[in-house]
Chain A
Amino acid sequence: MTMETVIKLTEVNKIYRTEEVETQALENVNLEVYKGEFLSVMGPSGCGKSTLLNIMGLLDEPTSGMVELCGTTIGRNLSDNQLAEFRNKTLGFVFQSFHLISSLNVIDNVQLPLMYRGVPYGERIRRAKEVIERVGLSHRMKHTPVQLSGGQCQRVAIARAIIGNPEIILADEPTGNLDSKMGADILGLLKQLNEEDGRTIVMVTHNEQQARQTSRIVKFLDGRQME
């Protein structure tokens, strides 16, 4: 594992403001994620870990502070379309509730990132079949999400996350909605991706046991990094 920084957060703050309430979700966060590491972010509910992941994944912007991804400073200098392109090339997401598109089958869900990259149809399908095979769901390619179990849905989500060969995978409680066996399977798959091809993975989790299987743990409490 090299020490090249792929994600760097400097003095990042995130405040949610509504009409009545102001909530500081993140406070002065300074964090570096290195290439090839499998980082766990842990903490109790409401500590800001999902917010942290959203900011890393350019799904949300910080109230203040700086975000760097793969050497590029992300800020207001980038338009929505540029951000979308950056996410498409650099990032892959795995969500707790899978977020599969229920009206599309497995292969259509998986090929989505390549479609937005403009890859030709034939190539997309070929590649999708490869990654679906990789996650062990070749026999379910034409099924829709409602026809899959939770673990299978998450495998599809992982396949979707990696099809575009992103540098970084962000997983927000990927095993949160699964039983222990399925959760272990998913974690195993993520570890495989990290160890075999050196992908950087940042995973938010509640599960201490799973977190200990990763290369580094970062703990958060009330929006502040503990260690």
Chain B
Amino acid sequence: MNFKKTIDKQAAWPSPHRGGDALWGRGGLYVRQALHMMREDGLFSAIYIAGTALAVAFTMVIVMAYNFKIAPIYPEVNRTRTCYLDGIVDVNPTTGVQQECGGVSQEIIDRLKELPSVKQVGTVTNFRPEIYVQRPDGNDEPIFMQYVDDGFFKVYQFDFIEGKPFTHEDWQKNLDKIVLTDKVARSVFGTTVGLVGKTITIDYRDYTICGVARAANVVSFMSYAEAYTGGHQDARCGYWGDPWGKGSLRAIILTDDAEALRADINQMFARLSHEFRERGDEWEIEPVGKNFIVHRDMALSTHERSRDAEQNLLYLVLTFLALLFVPVVNLSGIISGRMESRLAEMGVRKAFGASKRELLSQILAENFVLTFLGSVVGLLLAWGIVRFGGLWMLDALGFSNASEVGMEDFMATGEMLFAPIVFVATLLFCLLINTLAAFLPAWLSLRKPIVESMMEKR
């Protein structure tokens, strides 16, 4: 072959330019090199992938948990528009004595409904008795029942298999109508159909079944129960209320503007306080503080922290940073060690014209192969933890209500596990880890002069 002719042909090439390669060509080279290094240095690759997988798994479990708490989920499909008023503080302006209550009275609820920023109001009592359903076979079985009003079924969108919720009139008249979930219906009657109009005895009191609805997921922590009945001003249902707004009810409010609603509620409280003064009472109602909360902030709070949204968000951010920082430092150490053994290679590449930017891109790209593998493993691990973690996992993630009803009602559905945010979050986290872990060690090692790098091999 005439070598000289070949060389002359090169003059006809288009003018060379840097970075003009098809991505798949260079990218393919990096992937092949990364896979080769994985096989060569199995231990470090395993440690790297394990470290990444662990960080991704933990982070994604937290992402999924918060997604369960915040994203619309049956029947709490209006979570983004939902607020709660679950307490009131009366104060004696003369003595400064305060009386705080974890619920409000029916009067407050009725006035709430008149506010312009309110679209819908439902109520739930704070009463959580231990009650039993008297089964047809003579045995009693514990049941988790919520005492609600008709507005509850307008705020939460239940799927009714048959029948419908009790009406406002039913509720007003305390007609002992009940909505069963399919779970209880199957357990007690062996079927979910043909039950409307039938009687069920709970705590030795007869209720008429007006509807059978698909049970909520236990992570729908505000609406979950096994049966729902009205308890309008009935002491047996734990209802109480005093003339100053305190009571046993929690309000669930749908609104398009939470801040406007907060202002409206404060105005309402101010008007009520004025009425108290006019009739000679010594109490006033304090403006709402933590007792009024939007769903997202409620979901972010846990038992040991207050409902301070900023504090909770800060805690969340710090948790993510900690979950990111520690593995990044570890992985950086591993990559730093690896870079030392590749110094000679880097020196040779530089000798043949590679710029620092090109080498950095190469290292980040090769590293991305490992990080990506680790992220995939981590995501699978996260799904496994959520799907099979059971009560342990739910407790750890702050769903303490799960203990009341057991695990059979926790369903990690496809929409929960495969929500787009999970994939987006995984990818972002993967890129972050990759860049943060690899950039500094790579940058530091590439600063070494070429000759020094190549001498390492000798």
Cβ-based interface call for A113 (8 A): yes
Digitize B345-365: 1 where CB-to-A-CB distance is under 8 Å, 0 elsewhere: 101111111111110000000
The residue from A60, A84, A89 contacting B355, defined by CB atoms under 8 A apart: A84
Does B254 have its Cβ within 8 Å of any Cβ on chain A?
Answer: no
- Place the interface of chain B in its size category: 35 or more
CB pair A81–B355 under 8 Å, yes or no, is yes
Q: Would you call A80 and B355 a contact (CB within 8 A)?
A: yes
- Expressed in whole angstroms, the Cα–Cα distance for A197 and B6 within the complex equals 11
Q: How far is the CB of A104 from chain B (nearest CB, A)?
A: 6
Most buried by B among A97, A103, A115, A165: A103
Q: Which of B7, B20, B353, B458 contacts A197 (CB 8 A)?
A: B7
Nearest CB on A from B387, distance (A): 38
Instruction: Verify A118–B351 contact, CB threshold 8 A.
Output: no
Q: Report yes or no: A87 in contact with B449, Cβ–Cβ below 8 A.
A: no
Interface SS, B side: helix
Chain B residues closer than 8 Å to A87, beta-carbon distance: 351-353
Say which size band chain A's interface belongs to: 35 or more
The answer on a CB contact under 8 Å between A99 and B25 is: no
A197–B356 contact, CB under 8 A?
no
Most buried by B among A85, A116, A119, A124: A116
Q: Is B26's CB within 8 Å of the partner chain A?
A: yes
Contact yes or no, B454 A95, CB < 8 A: yes
Interface residues of B (CB under 8 A from A): 1, 3-4, 6-7, 10, 13, 16-22, 24-26, 29, 32-33, 36-37, 40, 344-345, 347-358, 449-451, 454, 457-458
Q: Are B29 and A108 in contact (CB under 8 A)?
A: yes
Q: Does A130 contact B (CB under 8 A)?
A: yes
Residues of B with C-beta under 8 A to A112: 349, 352, 354
Enumerate chain B residues within 8 angstroms of A133, measured Cβ to Cβ: 1
Minimum distance in angstroms from A72 CB to a CB of chain B: 15
Report the Cα distance A57→B357, complex, angstroms. 21
Question: Once the chains bind, are A130 and B353 in contact (CB under 8 Å)?
Answer: no
Contacts of A85 in B (CB 8 A): 18, 353, 355
Contacts of B24 in A (CB 8 A): 121
Which of the listed residues A84, A104, A197 has the most CB atoms from chain B within 10 Å of its own CB?
Answer: A84
Task: Report B398 CB to chain A, min CB distance, Å.
Answer: 46
The distance from the CB of B18 to the nearest CB of chain A, in whole angstroms, is: 4
> Could you tell me if B4 and A88 are in contact, using CB atoms closer than 8 angstroms?
no
CA distance A85 to B16 in the complex (A): 11
Asked whether A123 is an interface residue with its Cβ less than 8 Å from the other chain, the reply is yes
- Please indicate the chain B residues that have their CB under 8 angstroms from the CB of A99 in the complex: 344-345, 347-348, 454, 457
